[in-house]
Chains A and B, each alone.
Chain A
Amino acid sequence: MKQSFYGGVHPHDRKELARHKEIAPLSAAPKQVVIAMSMHIGAPCKPIVAVGDHVKVGQKIGEIAGLGAPIHASVSGEVKAVEPRPYVGGGKCMSVVIENDFQDTWGSELTPHPDYSKLSTQEIVDIVKEAGITGMGGAGFPAHVKISSGIGKVDTLILNGAECEPYITADHRLMLEQGERVIGGARILMQAFGLKSAVIGVEANKEDAIEHLKNLVGGKGDVQVESLRTRYPQGAEKQLIQRITGREVPPGGLPAHVGCAVFNVGTAAAVYDAVVEGKPVTHRVLTVTGDAIQEPKNLLVPLGVSFQSLIDEAKGFKEEPERILTGGPMMGIAQYNLDVTCIKGTNAVLCLTKREAAPVVEEEVCLRCARCVNVCPMHLTPVYMHLYAEKGMWKEAEALNVMDCIECGSCNYICPARIHLVQSFRVTKGELRNLAAKEKAAKEAAKA
């Protein structure tokens, strides 16, 4: 029997706000897009266009500099500026500002391969790399690296359609409306890994999507659709692998260590676009939602559109928002500036009212109620980890495996004393990384 993961929480999912809204393009193309040069884990890209250049849709404007994926223009027009601009991940990031000429001239260098069955693994990896595909679920790991590093090790290909974060419905609508792209992408990835089958994991609260995908696969049966228990963080990579295969990714390890590769359903759709249609990643589906939003929507947007224009597209606010997030309420990042723009991993713009958002209150004392221990999907003891973290006893916290924390926020959500556990563990992990770097440097110095 395949086991589920341990713990987890079940916040109100609030997906009803946007569940039945069809994916729509923007009603008016944006006048300007600001494309950040960091849309993935790894080194930011190097801009390869200059002010005054004319660019076409799909033209490469950012080149890989280390680990990463190239970045393409999402509209055609003139480059107005190449400068640091406010960034969804916090602070500022080098960005290319393009003024739209509304011509939509196409300029991708990729060639469509409607019959992909003859492509070799290397050819698929190259296309995925050139198309700039990164994990569309939020983390943004470059997809071509995931494929090439997993070849030969991976025996199970998993597509993540869990979408366990509350509010977000982008993946749900994508599976429902463009399921053939998702399944097509899955088959291309299967071919790249040399596998005969793949599994799509979808949380049980998306019954219609599960049915739809099953119908699309039909009698072929090469792609299985698995209904998962609706429980956060079902869509976390390690928890999903555990649920589908019963394997646990070792500490500090990657899914490939247990023979798994996990791709978001949006990533699979992007792979399909790149290989079959020769389209790089220039657009993505995201959800604009929250109680503060007049008309919650699922939108197909060009990368680089500002949050402000996305909120305007959803008819603005009906109530004053207290927090605006990129991503879901459990792991999303709070924004203070609506000039930040959508990147490849932006799956939602979430506007929470004061009623919905966690109350901003002083931390109370820890009761030792053990709720955090009972919900932690990584088998940690947040109550003791926090005790050490508070006192700056980083090494003692490390002994409790704080580095295994996936920052899913379950403990923080459930804490009756409203202690900011995740924040405290982030600090601890940062301090431990610094310590490790220092120790390493000292060792090297001693050697030399």
Chain B
Amino acid sequence: MNEEKKLNLTVASSPHVASPIDTQSLMRDVLIALVPALVMGVVFFGPRALVATLISVVACEFFEWAYRKLMHKSMANKDLSAAVTGVLLAFVCAPTLPYWMLIIGDFFAIVVVKQLFGGLGQNFMNPALGGRAFLMLCYPVAMTTWVVPGIGADKWAGLLSGEVTMAGADIVTGATPLSADYMHGGLLPDVSLLDAFVGNVGGCIGEVSALMLLLGGLYLIWRGVIRARIPLAYIATVAVLTFLFPMGGNDRLTWMAYQLFTGGLFLGAFFMATDYVTSPVTKKGEIIFGIGCGLLTVFIRYFGGYPEGVSYSILIMNCCVWLIDKVGKPNRYGVTKEMKAAAKAAKKAGKEG
């Protein structure tokens, strides 16, 4: 019996096995799913798109590390959540945005929106979208200075060094799918539907290619990282509303397709609205959340001050998550409709008596 006494046995509460999926692997999958969209960003906007994204990732990880170091908190860099925020924030900025502005956005996203509320899991707004909202308020011109896509290899060097940035023939302000003429007036953008789907249009670095975002989103659903409910409810709501109410005398289907494939809808639906921390946990809640995002997006696009409504609609819905989860609480197991009715009647009788 002596031999057995040497066994070093762990005593713990059940269960004694665990799924191989952990926080880091989930975040890694999100990063992988964002790669196709980044590739398209680089194809259409040149290497500056890649450099901006990398800078944003490094800045986010740095701010996360620095804040937690200064505050003597546990290190959280290895969970990769800051990297995801970095990529997403770069994706929702114009390709010409100066790097320093991007870094300020990263600071706001990581430190103000995320860490000040307690870090991962505690923030009530999506950090990347919070950062974007902040940049839109501070630098509205830089944030909406669009570059013509497919700019051509000869200009890449100039873009990278900053020679070709804020001004010049390559920069077109307002002639993109995000223009107010299009969103509010019903004037279709000057690109084919196929170009709009593939991403050969003006816009933010990561939002242009609906095709690649769809691929990434499907990868995440297939891997079980996100559930299809939010993106489906979101995109379907936008589709139905734009189909029912086309603008500018356009054909319903064409109008709907342009509305779906342009702007940040796919990026928002698959990667932002599904952010774990800031979305509901219940089945019903997820669907309510998706529909809410879709309604707000269309309202802002049709009637709002900004031509694009995806980011604000998600931010607004983020603030309602606690309430939505209360509404979406699953039905209690084993309680039938009759039992519920009986309980209600008893309560009523109790009040009256």
Contacts and interface: CB of A to CB of B under 8 A. Distances in A.
B10 A416 contact: no
Interface string A410-428: 0011111110101100100
27 contacts: A238-B333, A249-B334, A322-B10, A330-B14, A330-B15, A331-B14, A338-B4, A356-B17, A364-B23, A365-B119, A365-B120, A367-B23, A368-B279, A370-B227, A370-B281, A370-B286, A374-B227, A374-B283, A378-B333, A379-B330, A379-B331, A379-B333, A383-B281, A401-B332, A415-B19, A416-B26, A417-B23
Contact of B13 (A166, A329, A415, A426): A426
B9 A336 contact: yes
Given A368-B276, A369-B26, A422 B9 contact: no
Interface in B330-352: 330-336, 339
Q: Which of B15, B19, B76, B336 has the most CB of A within 10 A?
A: B15
Given A249-B334, A401-B332, A357 B10 contact: yes
Interface string B117-153: 0011110000000000000000000000000000000
Interface in B25-57: 25-26
Given A332-B14, A422-B15, 11 more contacts: A248-B335, A335-B11, A360-B12, A367-B277, A370-B282, A378-B333, A380-B330, A413-B17, A417-B23, A417-B121, A422-B13
Contacts of A330: 14-17
B9 A334 contact: yes
A250 B334 contact: yes
Majority SS of interface residues in chain B? loop
Interface string A373-407: 11001111101100000000000000011001001
A335 B339 contact: no
Given A329-B17, A365-B120, A416-B22, A335 B9 contact: yes
B266 to A, nearest CB: 21
A360 B13 CA distance: 11
A94 B262 CA distance: 74
Majority SS of interface residues in chain A? loop
B15 A413 contact: yes
A81 interface: no
A333 interface: yes
A91 interface: no
B17 A357 contact: yes
Contacts of B15: 329-331, 358, 409, 412-413, 422
Interface of B: 1, 4, 7-19, 21-23, 25-26, 76, 79, 119-122, 227, 276-277, 279-283, 286, 325, 329-336, 339
Contact of B79 (A364, A409, A426): A364
A240 B222 CA distance: 28
Contacts of A338: 4, 7
B16 A357 contact: yes
Nearest to A258: B334
Contacts of A308: 1, 4
A404 B17 contact: no
A369 B22 CA distance: 11
A324 B9 contact: yes
A367 B17 contact: no
B329 A381 contact: yes
A423 B13 CA distance: 6
Contacts of B122: 365
A332 B12 CA distance: 10
A259 interface: no
A358 B18 contact: yes
A11 interface: yes
**Leading 9 A-B pairs by shortest Cβ distance:** A409-B15, A370-B281, A358-B18, A423-B13, A248-B334, A379-B330, A250-B334, A369-B276, A365-B121
Contact of A323 (B1, B12, B329, B331): B12
A251 interface: yes
Contact of B8 (A320, A370, A381, A423): A320
A443 to B, nearest CB: 18
A437 B60 CA distance: 52
Contacts of A383: 281
